[in-house]
């Protein structure tokens, strides 16, 4: 038994004592992890200077050898993180992941570039690439489990990507549309209250950009309208939709959508009138005449030209006569 234990110990010691860079095809390097390499000693893509290592990464990328480019770029960042070549290497990592169809990893690499090297010369291009990735997820691209297995689309995760973009460059060229797309992601998941908040933030933050501000106000009104339609008709939210559409018409009278906005207002007021009419009929039916009068009058206030207005007036007259008769 002791001899067997001793033999196992010696084997283990021998294996652990082997140089980390062995001729075996699976190589482990501290800080880089396991890497597959063919037999033959030192990998052909490794270099001893940051500049040379980045050149290897760039050449491999240009030749569309993304596996080698990725390894070389990662080594540049890991071994020489403070060198002048690290930001470009981090950028190449993101480009490689994009080319390999691994958008989440690409976005993360670009995010690391922005956080570690905020003065990188290609900062604006990195933001645009993050924006394009987020747009693909907004269009329905699936997120991947463990970065490899297509799992599901997620508007929550998509909105988070846009949030990062806005935070990275709140006054960049793409930030206003990124903020708008947060609202669209929330609309896609039928989360209308959060959509309203996103559009409201866009209208407030980018009020000096007329097109964005107009789109934000209009879409905020649409989100209120959709929210009002959910479950039982929400009179309060319908009122907010009407107010926001009215603001849109007032602020942007020359916008071609003002006609459609007015149609929404008419439809919303008609629906408000219908809701009040149904409540009035209920009170009327159970004999709560004063309550019925309040809601029949509300029908006339909300939309005096609605299909319910004529009957509301008739019922108001009838109830008043009934109350007067009862008082004699």
Report which of 284, 209, 196 is spatially closest to residue 243, judged by C-alpha positions. 196
**CA 50 – CA 80 distance, rounded (Å):** 6
Q: CA 250 to CA 244: how far, in whole Å?
A: 10
User: Do the domain assignments include residue 301?
Assistant: yes
CA angle 54, 135, 193 (to 5 degrees): 135
Does residue 248 sit in the same domain as residue 201?
yes
Rounded Cα–Cα distance for residues 287 and 289 (Å): 5
Is the residue at 118 inside a domain?
no
- Give the whole-angstrom CA distance, residue 192 versus residue 306: 28
Buried-state track 82-91, b at ≥16 Cβ within 10 A, e below 16 = ebebbbbbbb
Determine contact, residues 295/276, Cβ cutoff 8 Å. Answer: yes
Asked whether the whole model's pTM tops 0.85, one would answer no
State how far the alpha carbon of 20 is from the alpha carbons of 8, 25, 42, in Å. 21, 12, 11
Distance of alpha carbon 59 from alpha carbon 146, whole angstroms:
29
Q: What is the biggest distance separating any 2 CA atoms in the chain, rounded to whole angstroms?
A: 117
Residue 126 falls within a domain, yes or no?
A: no
**201, 260: one domain:** no
Q: How many domains does the chain have?
A: 2
Question: What gap in Å lies between CA 240 and CA 262, rounded to an integer?
Answer: 14
93 inside domain: no
Which stretches of the chain score pLDDT less than 50?
A: 1, 5, 8, 10, 14-24, 27-34, 39-41
Query: Using CA of residue 96, residue 97, residue 99, residue 100, what is the dihedral sign?
Result: positive
Q: Which two tokens mark 32?
A: 């880089």
Where is 33: in which H helix or E strand? strand 33-36
**CA 278/CA 267 separation, integer angstroms:** 17
Are 279 and 308 within one domain?
yes
Residue 185: name the closest of 165, 167, 218, 158 by CA. 158
In a domain, 132, yes or no: no
* H or E, element range at 26: strand 26-29
Q: Are 267 and 328 members of one domain?
A: yes
Does 270 share its domain with 241? no
327 and 261 within one domain? yes
In a domain, 239, yes or no: yes
Shared domain for 248 and 297, answered yes or no, is no
| Cβ within 8 Å of residue 127, ≥6 positions away | 114, 165, 168, 169, 172, 174
Whether 16 maps to a domain, the answer reads: no
The domain boundary residue, chosen from 252, 277, 303: 252
Last residue of a domain, one of 236, 252, 268: 252
Three-class DSSP labels, 159-170: HHHHHHHHHHCC
Q: Which domain holds residue 261?
A: 256-328
* 240-256 exposure pattern, b = at least 16 Cβ within 10 A, e = fewer: bbbebbebbbeebeebe
**CATH code of the domain covering residue 301:** 1.20.58
Token pair 């990893």 is found at 105
Position 234 scores a pLDDT of 61
Identify the domain boundary among 252, 270, 300.
252
The answer on 235 and 272 residing in a single domain is no
Measured distance CA(94)–CA(98) in Å, rounded: 6
Residues 240 and 277 in one domain: no
pLDDT digits (tens, 9 = 90+) for 201-254: 999 999 999 999 999 999 999 999 998 877 555 678 888 999 999 999 999 999
> Are 271 and 319 found together in one domain?
yes
275 and 225, same structural domain?
no
Q: Does residue 36 lie within any of the structural domains? A: no
The reply to whether 206 and 273 lie within a common domain is no
Whole-number pLDDT of residue 308: 81
């Amino acid at each position: 038994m002791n001899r067997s234990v001793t033999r196992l110990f010696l084997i283990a010691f021998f294996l652990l004592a082997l140089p980390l860079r062995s001729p075996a095809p699976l190589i482990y390097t501290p800080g880089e992890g396991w890497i597959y390499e063919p037999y033959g000693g030192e990998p052909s893509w490794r270099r001893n200077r940051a500049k040379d290592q980045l050149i290897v990464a760039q050449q491999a990328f240009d030749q569309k050898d993304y596996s080698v480019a990725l390894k070389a770029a990662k080594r540049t960042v890991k071994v020489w993180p403070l060198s002048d070549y690290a930001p470009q290497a981090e950028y190449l990592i993101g480009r490689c992941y994009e080319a390999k169809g691994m958008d989440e990893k690409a976005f993360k690499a670009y995010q690391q570039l922005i956080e570690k090297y905020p003065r990188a010369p290609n900062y604006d291009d990195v933001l645009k690439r993050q924006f394009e990735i987020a747009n693909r997820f907004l269009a329905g691209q699936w997120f991947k489990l463990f970065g490899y297995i297509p799992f599901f689309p997620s508007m929550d995760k998509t909105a988070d990507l846009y949030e990062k973009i806005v935070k990275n460059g709140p006054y960049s060229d793409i930030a206003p549309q990124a903020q708008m797309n947060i609202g669209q992601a929330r609309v896609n998941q039928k989360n209308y209250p959060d959509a309203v908040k996103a559009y409201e933030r866009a209208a407030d933050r980018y009020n000096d950009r007329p097109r964005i501000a107009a789109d934000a106000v209009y879409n905020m009104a649409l989100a209120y309208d959709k929210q009002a339609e959910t479950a039982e008709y929400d009179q309060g939210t319908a009122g907010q939709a009407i107010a926001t559409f009215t603001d849109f018409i007032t602020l942007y009278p020359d916008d071609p959508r003002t006609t459609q906005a007015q149609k929404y207002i008419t439809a919303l007021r008609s629906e408000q009138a219908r809701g009040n009419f149904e409540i009035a009929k209920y009170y009327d039916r159970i004999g709560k005449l004063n309550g019925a009068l309040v809601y029949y009058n509300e029908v006339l206030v909300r939309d005096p030209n609605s299909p319910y207005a004529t009957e509301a007036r008739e019922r108001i007259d009838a109830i008043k006569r009934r109350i007067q008769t009862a008082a004699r």
